[in-house]
Amino acid sequence: MGTYNDEINIKTNGEVDIIDITSQIQEIIKKSKIKNGIACIFVPGSTGSITTIEYEPGLKKDFPRALQKIAPKGEHYDHHETWHDNNGHSHVRASLMGPSLAIPLIDGKLIHGTWQQVVFVELDTSPRNRNLIVQIVGD
Amino acid sequence: MGTYNDEINIKTNGEVDIIDITSQIQEIIKKSKIKNGIACIFVPGSTGSITTIEYEPGLKKDFPRALQKIAPKGEHYDHHETWHDNNGHSHVRASLMGPSLAIPLIDGKLIHGTWQQVVFVELDTSPRNRNLIVQIVGD
Amino acid sequence: MGTYNDEINIKTNGEVDIIDITSQIQEIIKKSKIKNGIACIFVPGSTGSITTIEYEPGLKKDFPRALQKIAPKGEHYDHHETWHDNNGHSHVRASLMGPSLAIPLIDGKLIHGTWQQVVFVELDTSPRNRNLIVQIVGD
């Protein structure tokens, strides 16, 4: 029984970039030598999110379009008055989606469906360097 | 300290079926002999979600109605052009809600409120057989 | 390797109160003597949620406003017919956001961004006393 920690470093293209990190998580699981347990993927930062999606070009357009309806860019946000910036919608979307994903590993393999990939969703307006935390607990 | 893994097999009625899996998780915890830790409930697949809800007939209508407003069925989704199917809204809703739930167990019992049940939410358009993963880590 | 469990007791002001619980989680981690692992923060109850946000006055107005658009207070919910109450929107919002957060701890420290705090979001209509569960697994 033990824990293993690593980071995934990615460069995003800003709003709304969806990046497949499935194989990078699998690599970290392999290095960890932990066979069975739970992996927690976490973004330190309040304008990004981790979820799963079928990673294909259509949904990469559909999902941002849905977010634009839920928390529209271009509207007034009180957040803008605090910092004189323009990413209030990014924060609202991130808090709604959540910053982390808990996902099982079994026999050394990350569990996911064939048409299901783990993704980081960049919700901030500008390109960012992101260091995602992967924390594994198991044996 | 250890890990325990099992599956919950359910048959859903398609869109938007909400199924109470609380007692099945509790059964698995009992079999695991793990008393304190974290359970991760995960759906392998990109058109379903795990969350909690007060499992009563009213909310079983209210929640689907809210999802229809957030990501409407019947609208255009680019996902439909990729596969010539019609479940773009299912995917968008699933990515927004997330595929997993992390929940504590204490003294051999799943923690939840009296009026709070753990549910699988079928977001796909057709009835599906689902094998949900329950991964427990603790001692 | 082990587990540690504690509670955070808070009093909320009702709809939509957002309460920073970051330092209380950090205190519990310190007491646990667990250095590396995963913490699961969970609300037992179906009208609250845990997430992260940049805890500043602007977003404390923006986030509730977004929730009002997603699942409006004041509309008809079938839930009201079940119990003759008026918090259908609270339940829908809670199920959408989810009741828990999985978050890594490394070298005895809760991982989060500089401008990212862990918060409890009170979604119920009235002030409530909440006992949030913090379950830590690691070594």
- Asked if C42 and B106 come within 8 Å (Cβ–Cβ), the reply is no
- Which residues of A are less than 8 Å from C61 in CB distance? 78
B51: closest CA of chain C, how far (Å):
6
**CA A70 from centre of chain:** 18
Residue B5 clears pLDDT 80, i.e. is over it:
yes
C38 touches chain B (CB under 8 A): yes
Q: How would you list the strands of the sheet with B17-20, edge to edge?
A: B17-20, B117-122, B48-53
C80: nearest CA partner in chain B? B58
- Asked if B40 and A138 come within 8 Å (Cβ–Cβ), the reply is no
- What is the pTM for the complete model shown? 0.98
If phi > 0 it is left, if psi is from -120 to 50 it is alpha, else beta; for residue A108 that is left
User: What letter does residue B29 receive in the DSSP assignment?
Assistant: H
pLDDT of A79 reads 97
- Asked if C104 and A42 come within 8 Å (Cβ–Cβ), the reply is yes
Mean pLDDT across chain C? 97
Residue C1 clears pLDDT 80, i.e. is over it:
no
pLDDT in tens, C14-51: 999 999 999 999 999 999 999 999 999 999 999 999 99
pLDDT of B84 reads 87
Q: Which residue has the tokens 């970051």?
A: C22
Averaged over A34-55, what is the pLDDT?
98
A107: nearest CA partner in chain B? B5
Q: Which residue among B37, B69, B104 places its CB closest to the CB of C133?
A: B104
pLDDT of C97 reads 98
Sign of CA dihedral A95, A10, A100, C54: negative
- For residue B99, count CB atoms less than 10 angstroms from its CB and return exposed for 0-12, middle for 13-18, buried for 19 or more: buried
User: What letter does residue C67 receive in the DSSP assignment?
Assistant: H
Answer yes or no: are the C-beta atoms of A120 and A132 closer than 8 Å.
Answer: yes
Q: Which residue among C70, C88, C98 places its CB closest to the CB of B101?
A: C98
C81 touches chain B (CB under 8 A): yes
Joined together, the tokens standing for residue A34 give 């932990």
DSSP states of A86-112: S-HHHHHHHHHH-SEEEEEEETTEE--
pLDDT in tens, A50-92: 999 999 999 999 999 999 999 999 999 999 998 888 999 999 9
Mutant choice from C62, C70, C92, C114 vs A, greatest count of A C-beta within 10 A: C62
* pLDDT interval class at C5 (50, 70, 90): very high
Name the residue type at position C61: K
pLDDT of C82 reads 87
Q: Could you tell me which chains touch chain A, where touching means 3 or more CB pairs under 8 A?
A: B, C
- Which residues of C are less than 8 Å from B41 in CB distance? none
Give the CA count within 13 Å in the CB-facing half-sphere of A1. 16
Q: How many CB pairs under 8 A join A and B?
A: 116
C95: closest CA of chain B, how far (Å):
6
B114: nearest CA partner in chain C? C45
Joined together, the tokens standing for residue C64 give 């509730």
- Which residues of C are less than 8 Å from B40 in CB distance? 102
* pLDDT interval class at B31 (50, 70, 90): very high
pLDDT of C84 reads 87
Residue B91 clears pLDDT 80, i.e. is over it:
yes
CA dist., res. A94 & res. A124, Å (int): 9
Residue B101 clears pLDDT 90, i.e. is over it:
yes
- Asked if A36 and B135 come within 8 Å (Cβ–Cβ), the reply is yes
* pLDDT interval class at A114 (50, 70, 90): very high
Joined together, the tokens standing for residue A31 give 């290095």
- Which residues of C are less than 8 Å from A96 in CB distance? 51, 66, 70, 96-97
SS3 A14: coil
Closest to B53 measured CA to CA, from B125, B111, B126, B112? B112
B111: closest CA of chain A, how far (Å):
17
Answer yes or no: are the C-beta atoms of A132 and A22 closer than 8 Å.
Answer: no
B50: nearest CA partner in chain A? A102
Closest to B100 measured CA to CA, from B50, B135, B29? B50
pLDDT in tens, C60-81: 999 999 999 999 999 999 999 9
Averaged over C91-116, what is the pLDDT?
98
CA distances A14 to A11, A98, A113, B126, B132, Å, are 9, 18, 27, 35, 34
